[in-house]
Structure 1
Amino acid sequence: MTGCFSFTASRNWCYRYSFSNAGLKSTTTDLGDGTIMHCWVPKTHKDSKPTLLLLHGIGANAMWQWNDFVSPLTHRFNVYVPDLLFFGDSYTSRPERSESFQAQCVAGLLEAHGVRRTSVVGISYGGFVAYSMAAQFPERVEKVVLCCAGVCLEEKDMDEGMFKVKSVDEAVELLLPQTPHKMRELLQLTFAKPIKVMPTCFLTDYIDVMCTEYRQEKKELIEALHNDRKLSNLPKINQPTLIIWGDRDVVFPMELAHRLKRHLGENAQLVVIKNVGHALNVEKPKEMFKNLKSFLMDPIAPFKQENHNSNGHKMD
């Protein structure tokens, strides 16, 4: 679509304006060893405010996934929104692809900006990185929110039929779509109520702008999440943790939410949002924000060992 109007590029520009209007500015930081991290940071960091880190999932850059949240959150927090490696303007020439390495890079980015302590919210893949940050740098992470993040998955889960896809290669073809047909499949997979009519030209444009660069590297990120993964190797984080899940998520089914709650025990609270799929930040942003606000802005208190839906009712 070279030379034609790009809906995706236009939307990207609108998001940049929105982030700037919320009090954030675009920065790039050289971490050395060929690693560059892009991040939206406060135009003025206020020591009177707590700090909040927002980590995106697989898909478009950070702006597309956090646009509905930055404006209300910047009123109460110093908000930092990085592009993870191989998304947006972040990249590395190093060979590491683990969420552990991503977490180390994000920690280095925050350190470069003088941030000593933060709470962190991670959506899907960003939740893997958030969890790893909390495990590796416990003194620097205060609270953790994990949204539809299957950090408790095991390699054997795919062989045992937990997921819609039957192999990692099939997952890659869906999560990194290269055709309008695959893009529609991805929307069907991630939304409880996907848009039924989506012009092919819009899908092609989105793929051209968002899904072609660093595809091999993103494929390796997905493979690294799955290969040799065992629950017994997952450290137990001790920070107060909120787990938010969509009850119709088929990317990371609800079993993984309950598994994570059992793994973390009394330090974790599980909130299940009804009638929403994996993309709960897009389908139910108001309900997601309500739970973020309650958890992040209230004083730290012991959790009741119960699971609740988004209305506060106990889940069986």
Structure 2
Amino acid sequence: MFDHMKLLRCFSFTASRDWLFRQSFANAGLRSVTTDLSHGNSIASTAMHCWIPKSPNRSKPNLLLLHGFGANAMWQYGEHLRAFTGRFNVYVPDLLFFGLSSTSEPNRTESFQARCLMRLMEAHGVQRMNIVGISYGGFVGYSLAAQFPENVEKLVLCCAGVCLEEKDMEDGLFKVPNLEEATGILIPQTPEKLKELIRFSFVKPIKGVPSFFLWDFIDVMCRSL
């Protein structure tokens, strides 16, 4: 049977953009590496993908860039990567359950993510680091700094409500009624949900985006999450 999805992927704007980001990361002096974290450790089968420096400069500080929920590392930081690579040894991982990182461990906490990140950085010979975390990545970065304060020099949190309390939810801080509804928006599976995410994410939301572009984005970026 003819696979129309493969044909669409050949002409995918999102997949093409993904390829361009990969080229830009490589041109910025980074290489793509997947590290097995389960060998010799007491955690389940776990592998984390990360963009790491091709030739780390030991005189430079290390910078760990953590992406947000529903994104991957390249799309979150691709536009700004070169602003960092001149001054830092830059490490840009896909968090577990996103991009090319995966685990059979059922644990979904930020604490588990942070412990795996620490194992990843140690595997690449990094003991001291600075961290920038956007949204969900901010929660993970905060947990990493709390668990391993001796390894974290500076922590920058962007759009991460780490001080959020249940009372804030009860007072209607968010416009979604529950976690299930929030997940449906953050990992959209239909153009309507993706449009809703765009409305929440932008001060001036883009209007009139054709549905086939939205389906293309969902197919490439959200189906594997």
- 1:61 CA drift (Å): 1.1
In angstroms, what is the RMSD of aligned CA positions? 0.9
Aligned with 2:218: secondary structure? helix
* Alignment equivalent of 1:113, drawn from 124, 129, 140: 124
* Alignment equivalent of 1:25, drawn from 20, 31, 39: 31
Is 1:3 the counterpart of 2:7? The answer is yes
Q: Where does residue 41 of structure 2 map in the other structure?
A: none
Q: Which amino acid aligns with 2:36?
A: D
* Alignment equivalent of 2:47, drawn from 28, 32, 36: 36
Aligned with 1:202: secondary structure? helix
Is 1:132 the counterpart of 2:138? The answer is no
Aligned with 1:26: secondary structure? strand
- Structure 1 unpaired stretches of 5+: 215-316
8 Å CA contact 1:120, 1:144 repeated in 2: yes
Moved beyond 3 Å, runs of 4+: none
Q: Deviations over 1:132-168 (max 9, x none)?
A: 0110000000000000001111234222211111111
User: Matched residues in 1 for 2:152 and 2:74: separation?
Assistant: 23
Is 1:61 the counterpart of 2:72? The answer is yes
Q: Which amino acid aligns with 1:59?
A: G
Following superposition of structure 1 onto structure 2, how do residues 1-316 of structure 1 map, counting pairs within 5 Å?
Answer: 1-4=5-8, 5-32=11-38, 33-214=44-225
Aligned with 1:68: secondary structure? coil
- 1:68 CA drift (Å): 1.6
8 Å CA contact 1:56, 1:122 repeated in 2: yes
8 Å CA contact 1:158, 1:167 repeated in 2: no
**Aligned residues: percent identity?**
64
Aligned with 2:149: secondary structure? coil
User: Matched residues in 1 for 2:135 and 2:30: separation?
Assistant: 23
- Structure 2 unpaired stretches of 5+: 39-43
User: Matched residues in 2 for 1:45 and 1:154: separation?
Assistant: 40
User: Matched residues in 1 for 2:134 and 2:167: separation?
Assistant: 23
User: Matched residues in 2 for 1:206 and 1:86: separation?
Assistant: 18
Aligned with 2:37: secondary structure? strand
Q: TM-score, normalised by structure 1?
A: 0.66
User: Matched residues in 1 for 2:195 and 2:107: separation?
Assistant: 31
Aligned with 1:2: secondary structure? helix
Q: Deviations over 1:101-146 (max 9, x none)?
A: 0000111000000001000000000000000011000000000000
User: Matched residues in 2 for 1:97 and 1:60: separation?
Assistant: 16
- 1:177 CA drift (Å): 0.7
8 Å CA contact 1:159, 1:166 repeated in 2: no
| Equivalent residue pairs, number | 214
User: Matched residues in 2 for 1:9 and 1:187: separation?
Assistant: 19
Aligned with 1:139: secondary structure? helix
